[in-house]
Amino acid sequence: MKIISVVGARPNFMKVAPLDTAFKRWSNFRSQSSLNHLICHTGQHYDDKMSKIFFEELGLPKPDYDLGVGSGSHAEQTAKVMLKFEKVLIKERPDLIIVVGDVNSTIACGLTAVKMGIKVAHVEAGLRSFDREMPEEINRVLTDSISDFLFVTEKSGVENLKKEGVDTSKIFLVGNVMIDSLISYLPRIGESKIHSQLNVEKGNYCLITLHRPSNVDNRGKLEELVQFIAELSKDKKVVFPVHPRTKNNLARFNLLDSLNHNITITDPLGYIDFISLIKDSSFVLTDSGGVQEETTYLGIPCITLRNNTERPITVELGTNYIVGENFEYARRCIGEILDGKGKKGNIPELWDGKSAERIVRILMERMA
C-alpha cells in the first residue's frame, strides 16, 4: 500500500509528524507489511523559518517531493499545486493521499487526487467557523465534501458533518494529532533556552501572534492592533514573533516604530521554542487556530482576536476567549487573567497523544 501525506504550511508539519511516526510503527510491528508512506511538501511555506526548521525539529524525513510552489494569490497558489501534484500522482499512483488542516495545499491536492480516482483522507475535518469570508473555511468545506475518510478533532466537527449530510461511515472522532506532537516533544520543550535568549522571565510576559489577512492586511485594523499591543506593553512584557506577512505590512504602513516599548520582536520561531514560550506565558494574544488548541491543552489563557472560531471546544471547555475587535472586552478578559480569575480549562476528549495511532489503525483496517 502506498500513501502520500501532503504538507504545505507551518501548521501542517506538526500534524503529519505523528502520522509518519505511527505509520513507521505499524510497519515495524508487522514486518510483513508493505506499507510505503511518502511525504510531499508543496512549498506553500518555503522560508526556512516557516518550513525547514520544522522538518529538523520534528524528525520528519526529507520530503520525497518538494513542489516549490511559493507564494501567490489563492488562485495562483492552488493552480500551481494542482499542476505539480498531478505529476506526482501520475508517477506514484498511490492508494490514498492524506491532507491536513485548511490551507490552499489541502484543497488543491485533495481535488487533484479525487479527480484521478485516488482516495482522500482529511485530518482535522468538520471544523467550521461559519464565516465564508475566511478562505480557510472554503478550503475546509470543499475538502470535507470530496474526502473518503474524515478524521475529526472534536465533537462539533462530527455534528457539522452530519448536518451537511455526510455519510456517517466516513466520520471518525480520533482526537487531535497536533496535540500528539505537543505531548511527544514536551521534554524537549522544557529544555528550550528561548527565555534566556530573549531575556524574558517565565510566567511574566504575554505572547502575541498575528498573521490572518483580515487582521494584518488592512492598515486601519493593523494600526488599532498595534496601538492595543503598545498599550498592553506598558503593564506587561510582550514577546511578538512576527509572521513574514505581518512584518511586511508593519513596515509598509510605517507601524514598526510604535512597537518599541517593553516589546521583544523576533522572527518566526521553531516549534520547540514557540511552544516553550506558550507554556510559560501569562497569556497569549493570537488569531491562530492551532494556538487556540495548544493553549487549551497547556492550560494557558488565550485571547483570540477573531469574531469566530472553528474550534469551539477551546471556548466551551478550554481556556480560549473570543474577543473579535472588542478591545474593551479584551481588556476585561486580560484583567481577569492577571487577577488569577481567568479560565482554567480542561483537556478535550481524546486529546491524549494517541490520535495518529487511531488514524493509522482505521486506515489500515479499511484500506486492507
Q: What is the pLDDT of residue 34?
A: 82
Q: Would 344 be classed as within a structural domain?
A: no
- Note whether residue 92 is domain-resident: yes
C-alpha span between 44 and 29 (Å, rounded): 34
Is residue 243 within 8 Å of residue 211, measured between CB atoms? yes
Query: Which residue, 77, 118, 81, is CA-closest to 96?
Result: 118
Domain co-membership, 10 together with 146:
yes
User: Do 149 and 244 share a structural domain?
Assistant: no
Mean pLDDT of 49-55: 65
Whether residue 166 is found in the same domain as residue 228: no
Element holding 245 (H helix, E strand) = helix 244-252
| Cα–Cα distance, 73 to 63 (Å, whole number) | 24
Same domain? For 31 and 172 the reply is yes
State the average pLDDT for the chain: 93
Span of 41-55, 88-102, 148-162, 278-292 with lowest mean pLDDT: 41-55
- CA atoms within a 13 Å half-sphere pointing along the CA-CB vector of 332: 6
CATH code where residue 162 lies: 3.40.50.2000
Whether residues 19 and 95 fall in one domain: yes
CA dihedral (163, 164, 166, 172) positive or negative: negative
In a domain, 212, yes or no: yes
- pLDDT tens digits, one per residue of 155-186: 999 999 999 999 999 999 999 999 999 999 99
Q: Which of 92-96, 212-216, 255-259, 267-271 has the highest mean pLDDT?
A: 92-96
User: What pLDDT score was predicted for residue 129?
Assistant: 97
Is 194 inside a domain boundary? yes
Of the candidates 98, 184, 100, the one whose C-alpha atom is nearest the C-alpha of residue 136 is 100
- Residue 79 counted as domain residue: yes
Same domain, 24 and 156: yes
60 secondary structure, DSSP code: P
Are residues 164 and 23 part of one domain?
yes
Domain membership of residue 129 (yes or no) is: yes
Q: What are the tens digits of pLDDT across the range 100-116?
A: 999 999 999 999 999 99
In contact, 276 and 195? CB cutoff 8 Å? yes
Mean pLDDT of 41-59: 71
For residue 119 the three cell numbers come to: 482516495
Tell whether 293 and 156 lie within a shared domain.
no
Q: How many CA atoms lie within 13 A of 111 on its CB side?
A: 18
Answer yes or no: do 73 and 29 share one domain: yes
Tens of pLDDT, residue by residue over 295-338, are 999 999 999 999 999 999 999 999 999 999 999 999 999 999 99
Q: Which among 288, 300, 299 is positioned nearest to 205, based on CA atoms?
A: 300
* 169 and 281 housed in the same domain: no
User: In 3-state terms, what secondary structure has residue 242?
Assistant: coil
| Residues annotated as part of the active site | 211
Domain identity same for 222 and 148 = no
Judgement on whether residues 258 and 204 belong to the same structural domain of the protein:
yes
The arithmetic mean of pLDDT across residues 41-49, rounded, is: 70
What is the span of the domain harbouring residue 222?
186-338
Query: Residue 28: what pLDDT?
Result: 83
With respect to residue 27, please indicate whether it lies within any of the assigned structural domains: yes
Considering its fold, how many domains does the chain have in total?
2
Please give the pLDDT value at position 31.
Answer: 61
